Every structure is written in C-alpha cells, then in structure tokens.
Structure 1
Amino acid sequence: MTTSASGASAEAAEADLARAGEFLQLLRDGRPRTRAELAQLTGMARSTVASRVDTLLSLGYVAPFGGASSTGGRPPSLFALNPQARVVVGADLGATHALVALADLGGTIVSEVRESLPINRGPEEVLAWLSGAVTGLLADAGRPASDLTAIGIGLPGPVEFETGRPVSPPIMPGWDGFDVPGRLQRDFDVPVLVDNDVNIMALGERKTAWQDVDELMFVKVATGIGAGIIAGGRLQRGAQGTAGDLGHVRVPGGPDTPCACGNAGCLEAVASGPALARRLGVDVDGAAGGPEHKASKVIAQRLRDGDLETVRLVREAGRHLGSVLASCVSLINPSVIVVGGSVSQAGEHLLAGIREVVYTRSLPLATKHLRIVTSTAGARAGVLGAAALATDHALSPGAIEAAGRAPRRSA
C-alpha cells in the first residue's frame, strides 16, 4: 500500500512541527542568531535549519532581529524568540492573599493585581475571583483570550502535580481533591499547572537571581517550613509531590515540643514564625492577616529594637534549621540554600544560626562553595515562579506542536 503525495506531505509537516518545538529551546535564552550560527550550533544542514526557523516564524514564536553585520553581499538575518507572541498567567494564592500576574514569554511582567483573599473561603470563590482577575489583566493589556497559552498556580498546601489537585491541605478547607485545572478550564481553554507554594517560590528565586545554578534549595520559613529542591536544573517533586517537606522532620537533639501533626519535636514546632512568637509570649492565633503576618512583624520589630531574648531565640531557631539542613546538604549537595518566607526578615540573625550548624556538621567538600543567603525575590518569588512554570510549559516542544496544529482562537 502506497502513501499518497498529500499524505506524505502532511506527515512531513507534522514531523517539522514536532522538531521545531525542540529547535525553539535553542532560542529561549533570547540571544539573536543567524541561520548559519544555528546550523553550526546544532550540526544540522542549513536547509533543515531554514525549515525549522520558517515553521517558528509562521507560528509567531520567532521573529527577525535587526543588527546583523555583513561581510559582503546581503546581510545575514538574525532570529530570536519573540516574547510578545503569547502571554501566560502566574498566580500565587497564599493563606490570606492572592497575587496574579500577566507575563510575556520572556518572563517580563506586563501587569498584575493583588487582593486580600483568604484561601479558606473555598475553591469556588477563590477560583472565580482568579478567573475574573485573568480576564481583567488580559483586557487591560489589550490581549485577546486567544493569546493566553498557559496558567501557573501556586497553592499553600500539598498538591498532586500530575492532576493539579490539592491533597489534604491543612489550611485549605474544601480544597481536598478539588479539580483546580478543570474549574479554570471552564473559562480558559489552556493548560493549567498547579504546584505547592514552596516549589513555585524555588522557581521564582532561581529565575530572579540564580539562573546559572543547577543545584539549589529554597527554604520557606513562615507558618510552616518547607523546601523546594532544584537538582540538575530541574525541580524535584518526588514520587507523590511531597519532596522537601522539612517541617515535620524531627530536629536532632531538639526539644520535644508538640506539633500540629501529632508528633513532637518537629522543625515546624520549634522554628516556624508562630512557634517563635509563642516563645516570645505573643498570641498570634486569630490575628488579622494570619499568624504568619503578625509573627513576622513582631519578630522584625523586636530585632530592630535590639531585644536580646528575641535575638537569642531567632539564632536558636536558625540552629534548629541548620541541624536539619546539614542532612540535606549531605544528601543532595546544593550550591545555594536560599531562605525565604516571612521569618526570613530576621535576616542575618537567622542565617548566622543556620550557617553555624551547617558548616560545622557537613563535610568540607559539600560546603566548600556552598552559599546560604536570604531571598532576593522576596514576596514576589511565588508569582514569578508560577509564571515561569506556565512559560516553561508554553514553550515546551509538545506545546509548540499543539499550537501549530490548533487554529488560533478568537477573543
């Protein structure tokens, strides 16, 4: 049985489309290149490179870039990723806040909106607000809904990444098993990627300050304590998405303080923001803005006032963190440990305690070039990471292939 000419042509077009998505990864760094440079870089024939570039030009993901110099004859054409081709949305939904941003494919934030929105109001109310916020951001930017290509969301609880469903989240009543992607896809026909807040903060921090670092731990110290782990340049979620749950690791030699999980001596029970506030005699339960917000404000103010007891307790909390992180350093050997979350406002006092234990207990080779620093992205780490999660998907080979097959939708 022979294949018709039209059938063979269609198969060839499909193959070009699939390979064009892989080819685009070479241009994601934003650096303009000529066809000749791309051929040299990939080892492909110039005709093959031309075919890939033409496919990406037709989809709008690549655009000509002026400025190439000529050695005689016609100037060579430069091509680069077109960040304006599509847009993505990143959403950081916290315990008491929501921050949503519209970004281009280069990671530049176009516009954003913030709202005081407690996550415990439930998924229908929170996600209805999010849907309205996305619609408003698109309208404000003058972009049709057809330009939206992916949505990334961070949630303050455990998430099964493959399905985007929260799993027994302790501070999110009504969210357990809720189909977050399905709810948003009722309004937007795009992929919706959902992860826990610490993972997206790790992505945001790396994008902001550590793009050249492939081995990084982001440690969030707030109401709870968790870590986002990047190894080999990729976010590591573990088998069920619970990698990095440091809060319920027992502190070696630490106090047997009861923990909300039912155990005693957990890191969260002795080093989180509320735990520190309680030791300082401050009641944070039921506080406006949540216990995390009040605890961080009280701790920061007392440190500014030079309160010696607060300094002692913060450094002690740092040592408890350090005793757990020392094991992490031995296991995964990160190049950088970034400390974020509200309690990271304690700054050098907290870091001093962490460094004291990590550099003492870890092998010299593991700590030879290890940096332990506070977050650069700060409160924006989550929304930047959510946007990066969406962008990585939008520019993946599979997504480019799907975009080439589907007709552009109208607004």
Structure 2
Amino acid sequence: MTTHPGLSQPAADSGGNLARAGDLFQLLRDGKARTRADLALTTGLARSTVASRIDALLLSGLVGPAGEANSSGGRPPSRFAFNPAARAVLAVDVGATHVIVAVTDLSGRVLAEQRLAQDVAAGPEVVLDRVVEEGLAVSAKAGRTAGELAGIGIGLPGPVEHATGRPVKPPIMPGWDGFDVVTYVQRSLPVPVLVDNDVNIMALGERAAHWPEHSNFLFIKVATGIGAGIIGNGELQRGANGTAGDLGHVRVPRGDNVLCRCGNTGCLEALASGPAIAAELSRLGVPASKGSDVRRLVNEGNPLAVQALRQAGRDLGDVLATVVNLLNPSVIVLGGSLGQVGEHLMAGVREVVYRRSLPLATSHLRIALSIAGDQAAILGASQMVTQHVLSPAAIEATLQAAG
C-alpha cells in the first residue's frame, strides 16, 4: 500500500483480535444491522472472537447499537451497524476560479457546504488559508469540531503526485509546482490530508454515488481543460506519475493549424474546451470569452453555439473512440462545466464513438451525462478519504492505538 503523508500505518499483525477487527468492520460498512451471531455465521469466527472485536469497534464509535433482533426465546440479541456520524470529513474542490468546501459524514452524505469565488492563480498559501478558514466555518455550521475530522480530501485542477500530495507542473496554477499541500494544511488541521487531481476525485464521486456496479468507468471533465478519471477493475488508475487521463493534449485530426497553450498544435483542449469553443464563437461574430458564455448561449438556443458544442463533442469522440478500444469501459460519463449543457456535447461524442470504436467494445457501452453534477468532486474527495481511513489496515491501527 502506498504510504501517504498524514496517514498512520498499522502495527504488524500480532495475531490478537484487534489486529483483525478492521476486516470485520468492512462487513458492517454497508450499513446493514447484524447481531454477533450473524457475524459469527458469516465469518466462521467463534462468537467470543466476534464479541471482542465488536466491543473494540463500539468503543471507537465507528459501530453503534442498532436495536434488537427478533428473539426465538429469551433475551433478544442486540444488533450493531456502522455509525457514519462517528467522524466527519472535510471535502474540498479547488477549481480554476472557485473553491467548494464541504463537510460530510463517513458515508459521504454532505452535511454543510460553502461555495466561493477564488482564483487558483492567487497561489497556494492564499487558496489553502481560505480552505482552512472556510473548512472550520463549515464544520461549525454542520455542528462538528476540528477534533471530529477523520481527514481532509482536496482536489486540484492540475497533475498531482498522489503519494506526496504535491502538484506537478500544473499549467494553470502558478506557484503551486511542488508545493507541499499536505504539510501546509496540517499546520492548521493535524489530520490525514489526501490530495489528487480534480477529475480523478470526480470519477470516484460520480461512480460511488450513481454507478457503483460498474468496475470499468470513465469520467470526462470538459471545462477550462479536458481530462479523464479512469477506474479499471474498481480501482482508480493514476499511472506511473499521476498523469493518466490527460486527454486534453491528445492530437485531434482536424486541429493541424490550431496552437495549444502547451506549445503543440491540434490538441483536443485547443478545440473542444470551454475557452476554445468561446474563441470559435467570437470568430463567427458571437461575443463569448469563456465557458460560462458558451453555456449561456446554448441555454438561450443560439444555433451557432449549439453547433459549436456538437462539434466539440465530435472532436472529443475522436479521442474517446481510441480510449474505448484500449480500455473497454462499460460507462463513460461527461461532466465538468460544459457537462451542465451536455446534451449536444454528448450527441457529438456518441456520433463518433459508436461509429469509430470496435463493435464489441461498444456493444454494452453507455455514454451519459453526470448525475452528481458540481457535487461530483466533493463526493469524490470524501470517498478518497474514507477509502483510506476506513480501510482494514487503518481501522486496525486506530484500534491498536486506542488500546
């Protein structure tokens, strides 16, 4: 398992009951109430062993009483269930021009949130100081204290080395390259801090909330930039250096003479991102300067805006057709700011993907718009934290430390 700053590591398995209580806890994370007898039957463990592990989990607060089961004679047996209210998670979505700070419980349910206008180019200290300040305010609004935080999840709009939480040469984040986000935040909030690229956490959030049965899943963010969150066999795929899914700089056939900010020509981002579509509309005599202008024009039914968004979908489809052949996902979800007016974008994607991809790869493929919308990143940031702090190893470490 990759060691992440701020996460305590479990002690070696001593063979005692607590060293394996984390595995028993995983059975309870579905929220279903069970008795000690139910757990003994499911696990094959002795009732005395189950009882000692349940006692430890009850003391931690992560498991709580859930009424009594029907009695077949004598005293009704007690039932137990996961208690997601035991701790809270601070979930943060940092965008190019916004910050969303939310507090969730351990099941990912949003308890309170705050949305702010904030330019990421202001630098890491300015942005993260505001994250901490608003995080404490939102926690108070949710009735939770800083001491109840299990961890903090942060999504950033650029490449991130997940193992360290440091941004890596992010193109729209001046001053952030190599910045130690984890240590900086932990100076104010000394809890586990996990950081990842925003589209990765959007993929986690969208899938967990709305597509949990799909193990091979792509989330495509179309906004100021274009990127993909890739989930394969149920696991987020970050690649060797955390840059997996950077679709924005894949070459598109019709873009030979279009210069991208990366210095190359023909990049998908230079043709199909929000600013690129706005620039094309301006060239056609329709005033637009950013993605929000494109959304407004599409919502107003402007035919040139609708046509431009559909063409952006075709350009995206050119890239995704290859991705579908390589990765064979069962679901592709389109999100990001342009996903909010995504029917025309989706139509263009479908037009090309179903024509250009292999028939077997598309026989059961679904292409859909994001259901989570602008909450996908918040849900994913929370999910990223709970995957770590509620893992069997982390639960065992917590119980051993408490013991």
TM-score, length-scaled by structure 2: 0.91
| Residues 1:366 and 2:361 aligned together | yes
Instruction: Give the Å deviation of 1:241.
Output: 0.6
* 3-state SS of 1:111 partner: strand
Aligned residue for 2:112, secondary structure, equals strand
Aligned residue for 2:171?
170
One of 333, 336, 357 as aligned partner of 2:331: 336
Deviation at 1:407, TM superposition (A): 5.4
Question: 1:197: how far off?
Answer: 0.6
* Equivalent position amino acid for 1:270 in 2: L
How far does residue 359 in structure 1 lie from its aligned partner after superposition?
0.9
In structure 1, give the amino acid aligned to 2:18: L
Q: Where in structure 1 are there 5+ consecutive unaligned residues?
A: 1-9
Partner of 1:7: none
Does the Cα contact within 8 Å between 2:334 and 2:370 map onto a contact in 1? yes
Distance 1:346 1:85, change over 3 A: closer
Amino acid at match of 1:326: A
CA distance in structure 2 between the aligned counterparts of 1:297 and 1:11, rounded to whole angstroms = 53
Question: What letter is aligned with 1:192?
Answer: V
Give SS of 1:90's match: strand
Distance 2:88 2:139 in 1: 9
1:126-205 correspondence to structure 2 within 5 Å: 126-205=127-206
The number of equivalent residue pairs is 391
Aligned to 2:4: none
What residue number does 1:3 align with? none
The answer to whether structure 1 residue 222 and structure 2 residue 223 are counterparts is yes
| Partner of residue 322 from structure 1, selected from 317, 321, 335 | 317
Report how far residue 207 of structure 1 moved: 2.3
Q: How many angstroms does 1:13 deviate by?
A: 7.5
Alignment partner, residue 403 of structure 1: 398
- C-alpha contact 1:322 1:355 (8 A) present in aligned 2: yes
Check the 8 A contact 1:16/1:55 in 2, yes or no: no
Contact 2:167 2:177 in 1 (8 A): yes
Q: Deviations over 1:97-129 (max 9, x none)?
A: 111111111211121222211111111111111
State the AA in 2 paired with 1:386: A
Write out per-residue CA displacement over residues 276-306 of structure 1, whole angstroms, 9 at most, x where no aligned residue. 11111179xxx9xxx9xx6333223333443
Aligned match of 2:93: 92
Residue in structure 2 matched with residue 25 of structure 1 by the alignment: 26
Determine if the alignment matches structure 1 residue 301 to structure 2 residue 302.
no
Conserved? CA contact 2:255–2:265, under 8 Å: no
How far 1:353 sits from its partner (Å)? 0.8
Structure 2 residue 69 is the aligned partner of structure 1 residue 72: no
Distance 1:314 1:406, change over 3 A: same
- Are 1:156 and 1:197, in contact at CA under 8 Å, matched by a contact in 2? yes
Amino acid at match of 1:332: L
Deviation of 1:352 after TM superposition, in Å, equals 0.8
Secondary structure at the aligned position of 1:365 is classed as: helix
| 1:255 Cα deviation from its structure 2 partner | 4.0
Structure 1 CA distance for aligned equivalents of residues 202 and 277 of structure 2: 23
Q: For each residue in 1:325-382, what CA deviation from the matched residue of structure 2 results, as whole angstroms up to 9, or x when unmatched? A: 1111111111110000112233221111100111111122211221101111111111
Contact 1:101/1:387, CA 8 A, preserved across alignment: no
Equivalent position SS for 1:66: strand
**Of 86-95 and 358-367, the range deviating more from structure 2:** 358-367
Task: Tell me if the contact between 1:299 and 1:346 (Cα under 8 Å) persists in the aligned partners.
Answer: no
Per the alignment, residue 383 of structure 2 pairs with 388
**Helix, strand or coil: the match of 1:128?**
helix
Q: 1:348 aligns with which of 343, 351, 359?
A: 343
Which residue identity is paired with 1:307?
A: N
- Give the structure-1-normalised TM-score: 0.90
Q: Is the 8 A contact 1:393 1:399 kept in 2?
A: yes
Identity value in percent: 59
Letter in 1 for 2:364: H
Alpha carbons 1:18, 1:397 under 8 Å: kept: no
In structure 2, the residue corresponding to 1:103 is in which secondary structure? strand
Q: Which residue of 2 aligns with 1:103?
A: 104
Displacement after TM superposition at 1:402 (Å): 3.0
Whether contact under 8 Å (1:303, 1:311) holds in the other structure is: yes
Partner residue in 1 for 2:242: 241
Supply the distance in 1 between the matched residues of 2:87 and 2:363 (Cα, whole angstroms). Answer: 43
The farther-off stretch of 79-88 and 398-407 is 398-407
Distance (whole Å) between structure 2 residues aligned to residue 169 and residue 302 of structure 1: 30
**Relative to structure 2, which stretch is displaced further, 309-318 or 239-248?**
309-318
Aligned-pair CA distance for 1:163: 0.2
- Per-residue CA deviation, residues 250-286 of structure 1 (Å, 9 max, x unaligned), is 1145443111111111111111111111111179xxx
Q: 1:39 Cα deviation (Å)?
A: 2.3
